[in-house]
Amino acid sequence: MNSFLFAVNAVLPIVLLVAIGYALRRAGILNTHVAKAVNKLVFRLLLPCMLFLNVYKIDSIASIGFGYIWFSAAAILVIFAVGIPLCRLITKQNDQRGVVLQAIFRSNFSLIGIPLATSLFGEEGGAVATLLSAFSIPLFNVLAVTCLTIFVDGEKFNLKKILLGIVKNPLILSIALGGVFLGIRAILEKHGIAFRFSDIKPVYSVLEQLSRAATPIALLMLGAEFELSAIPKLKKQIILATLMRVLAVPAAVLTVAYLVGGFTGAHFASFVALFASPVAVSSVPMAQEMGSDSELAGQLVVWTTVASAFTIFLFSFVLKSAGIF
């Protein structure tokens, strides 16, 4: 029951914020035009601030092994590769194929991954997940740009356009910038200089405020664009993509990790957070910006979020029963 309540508490705030956004639109306070404009703000400013700080706030990577990171990266790449033919079977529309593929491989790790891993395995779980986020989030975004570009172009592999999309993507740029600042901080510390970017308090405070605004605003706008009437026409895509995201993918990865062996409870907590959490909220503004079906992307965020409350409990219960947690 404690595991179930934890899972519900982890995802219920997301559902409630989406519901509030939907209610605001029904009341005439928000509309889809405003939501699309604000989504641009989220994608180009708020989410980049959040990701920059997520990377910069990593304390130290020296004391943590990298085996689980290589395993996670390999798993993401395999899921991406397997997902390409699957999404072609699920839908015939190119503007939906990239969205479905995102749902299969891309989780909401940047928003709920670290808190989820911390709740599952304490501070050690949170530390492992924090380091993993520095590698998984850039990989997620590079693959997201790649799949949306390929399918929007009618499945023509245009390497130049993909690379330009990656280089110009605000989320990827913010993560890279965070890495640069993290490297500068490490060099300064090596030379006995204790200065940190956070010491520039006015600038750092603004970044933190913008970062905190990213999640609630993105979810409110998602609710403002959500259409219950869209469910019948997208039923097949929603059901299949949701089952892949919250059930099939995490079950496969956790099973392989168990068989491979050598991973601790903290590692498994980060695997649950990375592979069992719902679709990334940022997939909606990214789909909108790159000419894909943002309506389907929004539906998938909502339904994978609701379903993950139960599947996270399921995987937590199984891992605890197996003596891993």
DSSP conformation letters of 60-109: -STTS-SHHHHHHHHHHHHHHHHHHHHHHHH-S-HHHHHHHHHHHH-B-I
* Max mean pLDDT range (8-22, 39-53, 218-232, 253-267): 253-267
pLDDT band (50, 70, 90) for residue 155: low
pLDDT band (50, 70, 90) for residue 241: very high
Q: Is the pLDDT of residue 242 over 80?
A: yes
Report the pLDDT value the prediction gives residue 61, as an integer from 0 to 100: 55
Nearest to 147 by CA among 104, 177, 89: 104
In angstroms, the Cα distances linking 76 to 55, 73, 103, 275, 300 are 20, 5, 12, 9, 19
pLDDT band (50, 70, 90) for residue 63: low
d(CA 96, CA 8): 29
Report the pLDDT value the prediction gives residue 186, as an integer from 0 to 100: 82
d(CA 238, CA 232): 10
* Max mean pLDDT range (60-69, 137-146, 200-209): 200-209
* Max mean pLDDT range (94-108, 241-255, 274-288): 241-255
Q: How many domains, in total, are found in the chain? A: 1
Query: Could you report the per-residue pLDDT of 70-96, keeping only the tens digit for each?
Result: 999 999 999 999 999 998 888 888 889
Report the pLDDT value the prediction gives residue 157, as an integer from 0 to 100: 58
Query: Could you report the per-residue pLDDT of 275-289, keeping only the tens digit for each?
Result: 998 898 888 888 888
Q: What does the mean pLDDT of the chain come to?
A: 84
pLDDT band (50, 70, 90) for residue 251: very high
Report the pLDDT value the prediction gives residue 62, as an integer from 0 to 100: 59
Report the pLDDT value the prediction gives residue 126, as an integer from 0 to 100: 75
Give the residue ranges of DSSP H helices in 153-264: 159-168, 170-190, 201-225, 231-243, 249-260
**0.75 cut: is pTM over it?**
yes
Report the pLDDT value the prediction gives residue 252, as an integer from 0 to 100: 96
pLDDT band (50, 70, 90) for residue 4: low
- The residue that leads in pLDDT, 322 or 275, is 275
Query: Could you report the per-residue pLDDT of 118-129, keeping only the tens digit for each?
Result: 777 877 887 788
Q: Is the pLDDT of residue 207 over 90?
A: yes
Report the pLDDT value the prediction gives residue 55, as an integer from 0 to 100: 77
The 10 Å Cβ neighbour count of residue 239 is: 13
The 10 Å Cβ neighbour count of residue 64 is: 16
Query: Could you report the per-residue pLDDT of 255-274, keeping only the tens digit for each?
Result: 999 999 889 888 999 999 99
pLDDT band (50, 70, 90) for residue 247: very high
Domain that holds residue 145: 2-321
End-to-end Cα spacing for the chain: 15
CATH number, domain of 237, equals 1.20.1530.20
Report the pLDDT value the prediction gives residue 83, as an integer from 0 to 100: 93
